[in-house]
Structure 1
Amino acid sequence: MSLRKLLKAGSRLMVFPPQGSRTVYHSYLDDIGEDGLGITVPQKHGQPLLLHYGDQVTVRAPVGTQYIEFTTKVVGETQSRIKLAMPITWKQTQQRDNVRLPIVIKVECSIGDLDARTVKLHTIDLSAGGLCLRSTENIPAETEIWMTMFLEARKQKRIINAVGKVIRSTLMEHRYGIEYRCAVQYTKISRADQDFIVGFIFERTAKKRPTV
């Protein structure tokens, strides 16, 4: 599939500056055509990334449950817009391998059965492929969990419904007692809900706000 079919105007982008820096700047795709990609000027904490003709940048874009990543060069610039050459090649990687957002979110859970009593747990982190839950009781591996959580991104609110399977449960001891940290992988989640999670993580990463 061509890059023009994978990316659409408005797609969120992470831009890494020249010289191999892993500092992340955030941008959006304005348009894409045979002559290249037009993007908004990448910013980090409100500060623009200064790019000039010929600069090489690496761009990463979330697409569904994956990331597309490519390296290209700046071929045009204005005060509000950057023009990038169409890359010859790109690679795709799973999002869960790249972005896991440390954040505390309340999750309503039915454990082991959809009709089980609902309990309220909290996340330790969140990704497009799953999450980690904090629990006072052990939830064994392979246990199914029906989950509902509330997210807000780009001034839009959404109730996320997902089914997941516990991959591992780790006992943790601390000064206040013990708790279990349960890594959960989604087994059933709509594409729309998963895309919203990606947008939520993108926005939170850009604003550097780790909790809600």
Structure 2
Amino acid sequence: MARGFLKEQEKGKIKLNLPVKLARNSENNFYASLVQDIGEDYFTIMVPYKEGRPLILNPGEEALGRFVQEKTSFLFYTFVLGKHREKNLLFYVLALPEKIEEVQQRMYVRFPIIMDVW
């Protein structure tokens, strides 16, 4: 296996130190964060920031997440289970998503087609 490439069963999975972006469910304004911990049914991230401003979420609130692995973008829905503070850093505890979908990033997709030209 080439260095830096994921095994097929690891693609599209949330992992430690994975950069993720989070937005409120009804918005398309994503804030950047990093996965800090993973449990059986949850994962923990630092509070996401965008341009120096934090994304404030409350327990029970639904959020939209996205991340990129090997040039493939993934999208998922989650909700906030809780939040806690360690050494002046605020963390969100989020539910592990039931489903993570692969998302096409380009507006147009190229298909390899051979056509006769007259």
What's the TM-score, normalizing by structure 2? 0.71
Structure 2 match to 1:14: 21
Is the partner of 1:14 in helix, strand or coil?
Answer: strand
2:37 corresponds, among 25, 31, 44, to 31
Structure 1 unaligned regions, length at least 5 = 99-212
User: Residues 9 and 31 of structure 1 are in contact (CA less than 8 Å); yes or no, is this contact kept in structure 2?
Assistant: yes
Amino acid at match of 2:91: R
Larger Rg: 1
Give the distance between the partners of 2:15 and 2:84, measured in 1 at CA: 21
Residues 37-75 of structure 1 show CA distances to partners (whole Å, capped at 9, x for unaligned) of 111101111111111110000000111121121001100
Aligned Cα root-mean-square deviation (Å): 2.0
What's the TM-score, normalizing by structure 1? 0.41
* Percent pairwise identity: 28
1:2 to partner: Cα distance: 6.6
Aligned counterparts, 1:129-208, within 5 A: none
- Across the two proteins, how many residue pairs are aligned to each other? 95
Structure of higher RCO (CA pairs closer than 8 Å, 6+ residues apart): 2
Give the distance between the partners of 1:89 and 1:2, measured in 2 at CA: 14
Structure 2 unaligned regions, length at least 5 = 1-8, 108-118
Give the distance between the partners of 1:78 and 1:60, measured in 2 at CA: 22
Higher share of residues assigned strand: 1
